[in-house]
Amino acid sequence: MSDFAFLRFLTNGLLTEEERNDKETIIMLTEEVLHAQGMECDATIAKISESQLKEILEKVRQLRKKRKAQQADSTEILQQHYG
């Protein structure tokens, strides 16, 4: 489903180079955001405005940033204990 959302992000020029290269993560997080908002079909994504699309992408970016920070923290803890 979120392949279509990713395509909308892409065609509207909303994605950074890094985000374009991390397609699978962006799709996975987009699915989480859309599910949390009760949007579960491509037809809904096709009809939302560009401003709503930007809001969704902003939430995806927040989740992505949070997960990267959590991964960095986990890596640091492992290095302290085993490095």
Q: Domains of the chain: which residue ranges?
A: 2-82
Q: Which pLDDT value is given to residue 42?
A: 76
CA distance 7 to 36: 20
**pLDDT category, 83, cuts 50, 70, 90?**
low
Asked whether residue 79 carries a pLDDT value surpassing 90, the answer given is no
Q: Which two tokens stand for residue 34?
A: 């859309």
Look up the pTM and report it.
0.82
Exposed/middle/buried for 49, CB within 10 Å: 0-12, 13-18, 19+?
Answer: exposed
Please, what is the angle between helix 2-11 and helix 23-36, to 10°? 110
Q: What is the distance between the terminal CA atoms of the chain, rounded to a whole angstrom?
A: 41
- Average pLDDT of the chain to the nearest whole number: 89
Asked whether residue 11 carries a pLDDT value surpassing 90, the answer given is yes
